[in-house]
Amino acid sequence: MEEYVVALAGNPNVGKSTVFNALTGLKQHTGNWSGKTVECAEGHFEYNGTKFTLADIPGMYSLTSASAEEKTAAEFITSRKADGAVVVCDASCLERNLYLALQIIEYMPKTIVCVNLIDEAEKKGITINRDKLSELLGVPVVLTSARNNTGLDELCSTLSDVMNADIPEQDCKSAENNSGDNCGNNTEKLLQEAGRIAGESVTFSNTDPHKRDRKLDHIFLKPTTGIPVMLILFGLIMWITTVGSNYPSQLLSSILFGIGDILSERLLDSGAPEWLESLLIQGIYKVLAWVVSVMFPPMAIFFPMFTLLEDIGYLPRLAFNLDRCFKCAGACGKQGITMAMGLGCNACGVTGCRIINSPRERLIAVITNCFVPCNGRFPTIIAVIAMFFVVSGGFFGSVLSGAVLLSVILLGVIMTLLISFLLSKTILRGQPSSYILELPPYRMPQIGKILIRSLLDRTIFVLGRACTAAAPCGLLIWIAANITISGESILAHISGFLDPFGHLMGLDGVILMAFIFGFPANEIVIPIILMAYLAKGSLVEYSNTRELYGLLTANGWTLCTAICMVIFTLFHFPCATTCMTIKKETGSLKYTLLSIILPTSVGIVLCITVNLLFNIFT
C-alpha cells in the first residue's frame, strides 16, 4: 500500500483544523481566531488503497513569517518533509490567501488548493470559478465547506490522483533555487499575481459582502462601546457561571461522597484493614471527589460560553480592544488573547503565547499569564464571594456575586498590565512590536460542536489533568494528617510554623499550608483548610455555603480574612501543571522561578497592605 505525507497548510482561521478533523476523524481543536494551532498535529486516513499521513501545521501568511509557530510551518514545507500539500484558502477573501498558495506551489508541484468556507462566501454573494482558478494556478482546485462535510469526498479523490501521479523530476522546482529569501524578494510580484488570479476567478453579486461584519465591528471595536460591551459579556458569563454551578456542585458532591461511603463500607466488610480504607477512601478518593464536584460544574458552564465567543469570532476583537493597553505596557496586543485563554487554564494560555512573534513579548506574556484566575481558582473565589460578600439571596444576590467576580478578574487584568510594564522596563526592556491582527468574519456558532468541543477538549481534559495531580496529593495530605509528632499531626506542625506570617497577611497558618499542599491542583485548597480546622484525617463534605461559613467564622475568619483569601487565591504561584508548561515553553528554570515568585510576591504585598488597613480603620 502506497503511503504519503501531506502537509495541510494555509493562513490562520481558514478552517484547516476542521478539514483535518473531517478527514482523519481526530478532534484537533478548532476556533474562529488566528493563531489557534500552535504546533503540528498528525492524523491518518486511507482512500482507494492509499494511506495518507496528514500534518496540520500552524497557520501562516508567508513562508518568511517571523513567529515561532509560523517558522515551524514554513520549515515543514521548505525542508520537503511532506510529499505534497493541501493549501486551505478562505473563499470569502481568496486574494489574501493566494499569496501563500503561490509560494507553496513553487516548492511542491503536488499541491491542491482547497477553497474552504464556500457556504459563507455564497451568503455574501461571492462566487468562485473553480476551473478558471485551477487553470491560472496550474494545480487542482476543490471547493469545500468542511464544517458541513461538503466537497470532502472530492478532496480525497483529487488528493489520491495527485499523489499517485508521476510528475517528472525536471518539473519539480528546486528548493535551493526557490528559498524563503527569494520568496521574500518576490513579495510584490507574488502579491500582484495573487490579485490578478483572484480578479479573474472571483465574482461578486453583492457590492459590499462584508457590510454586516462592519456594522457589528462598529459596536464591538468602537472606543466608546468596545470596552463596555466586553465587560458586559464577561460579566454575564461570570454571573451565569456563579449562579448555574451552585446546585450541580452540591448534587454532584452528595453523589460522590455517598459513593465514597458505600466503597468504604464494602472495603471494610471485605476484611481490609482500617488504615488501608482510610488511605484509599478518606485520603485519595475524597480529594478526587471534592475536585470533581467543585470543578466540573463551573467548567461545564464557563467553557461552552467562552467557546461560543471564540466560535462567533469575538476573541480577536478582544485583543484589538486591549491592544492599546498592552502597547502602553510595552507588551504585545496578542497577549489579550492568551490572557483570555488563561481564564480557562493557565497552562493552555502559556502554550498559546507561541502566537506572539517577539521572544521578549512572548516571555512577558508567559510570565504574567497566571495573574488572571484560571478555572481551578474560580471555585474557591466563588465560594468565598458567596459566603462573605453576598448577604442577600435571590436575583440581586446573584447579580452582586457576578459583579464581584468580574471585579476580581479586572483586578487580575490590571495587575497583568502593571507587571508587564514593569518587566518591559527592567529585565525584558524593549519597544513594543507591531503586528498584523486578523479579524475573522462573524460566523453563526455551531452549538452542537461547541458543546462537544468544550466538554471533551476542555472540561474533561482539564478535569482529568487536575485529578491526575490531585490523587497523589490526596495521598500526601492523608499521610501528613495521620502521622503525628509529639502528639500533633504533621499538618498541625506545618500550619503552626506558618501561623505568624499568615496572620501578618490577614490569613493564618492553615490557609498558607493549604496553598502549599494545593500546588498540584488549586481546587483542593478549601478542602485542605476544612480538614485542618476539624483536625480530621480525611476531607469532609459540606452541603451548603451557610454551613461552611459557620465553620470558617468559628475558626477566626473575618471580612478581612475573606478579602485576603480572594487576593491570595488570585495572586499566588501557578499550579504544578502550569509551572511544567512554563519550563517547557521557555526552556529556562530562571523564568519559571520568576513566574512563581512574581505573583506570589504581589499576593503577599497586597494581603499585608489590606490587613494593615483593616487594623488601622477597624
Q: Residue 368 is inside which H or E element, if any?
A: helix 359-368
Q: What does the alpha-carbon distance between residue 312 and residue 308 come to, in Å, rounded to a whole number?
A: 6
Average pLDDT over residues 277-291: 81
Give the 3-state secondary structure of 121-173.
HHHCCEEECHHHHHHHHCCCEEECEHHHCECHHHHHHHHHHHHHCCCCHHHCC
pTM for the full predicted model: 0.72
Q: 3-211 belongs to which CATH class?
A: alpha beta
Higher-scoring residue by pLDDT: 227, 432 = 227
| Strand, coil or helix: 501 | helix
pLDDT at position 365: 94
Mean pLDDT for the chain overall? 83
- Give me the pLDDT at residue 506, please: 95
Task: Quickly state the pLDDT bin for 86 (edges 50, 70, 90).
Answer: very high
| pLDDT reading at 405 higher than 70 | yes
Q: For position 513, what pLDDT does the model report?
A: 92
- Decide if pLDDT at 168 tops 60: no
The least confident of 367-371, 466-470, 560-564 is 466-470
How far apart are alpha carbons 353 and 579 in whole angstroms? Answer: 14
Mean of pLDDT values over 186-215: 85
Q: How confident is the model at residue 74 (pLDDT cuts 50, 70, 90)?
A: confident
pLDDT at 194 over 70: yes
Give ∠ CA 98-103-108 in degrees, rounded to 5: 115
pLDDT recorded at residue 100: 92
pLDDT at 183: 42
Q: 571, 606, 523: which is closest to 416 by C-alpha? A: 571
Cα→Cα distances 325→215, 235, 329, 331, Å:
24, 20, 6, 9
For 64-73, 365-374, 563-572, which range has the lowest pLDDT when averaged over its residues? 64-73
Question: Residue 36 — very low, low, confident or very high, per pLDDT cuts 50/70/90?
Answer: very low
Residue that wins the pLDDT comparison between 342 and 142: 142
| Lowest mean pLDDT segment, chosen from 29-33, 115-119, 391-395, 447-451 | 29-33
pLDDT given for residue 457 in this prediction: 66
At 484, is the secondary structure helix, strand, or coil?
strand
Parse the chain into domains and list their residue ranges.
3-211, 223-430+440-617
Residue 292: its H or E element: helix 286-312
d(CA 335, CA 462): 22
Name which of 95-99, 136-140, 344-348, 510-514 the model is least confident about: 344-348
Question: 359-373, 513-527, 530-544: which has the minimum mean pLDDT?
Answer: 530-544
What is the reported pLDDT for 134? 94
66: confidence class by pLDDT, cuts 50, 70, 90: low
> What per-residue confidence (pLDDT) applies to 575?
87
Q: Of the given ranges (116-125, 292-301, 554-563, 571-580), which has the lowest mean pLDDT?
A: 292-301
- pLDDT tens-digit map of 314-336: 877 887 888 888 888 988 888 88
Share of the chain above pLDDT 90, in %: 30
pLDDT at 608 over 80: yes
Looking at residue 396, what is its pLDDT?
A: 67
Confidence band for 402, pLDDT divided at 50, 70 and 90 = confident
Instruction: Give the CA dihedral 590, 591, 595, 600, nearest 10 degrees.
Output: 30
pLDDT, position 60: 85
Picking from 233, 578, 562, the residue whose alpha carbon sits closest to that of residue 382 is 562
Q: Which of 482, 504, 501 is nearest to 492 (CA)?
A: 482
Output DSSP code: residue 372.
Answer: S
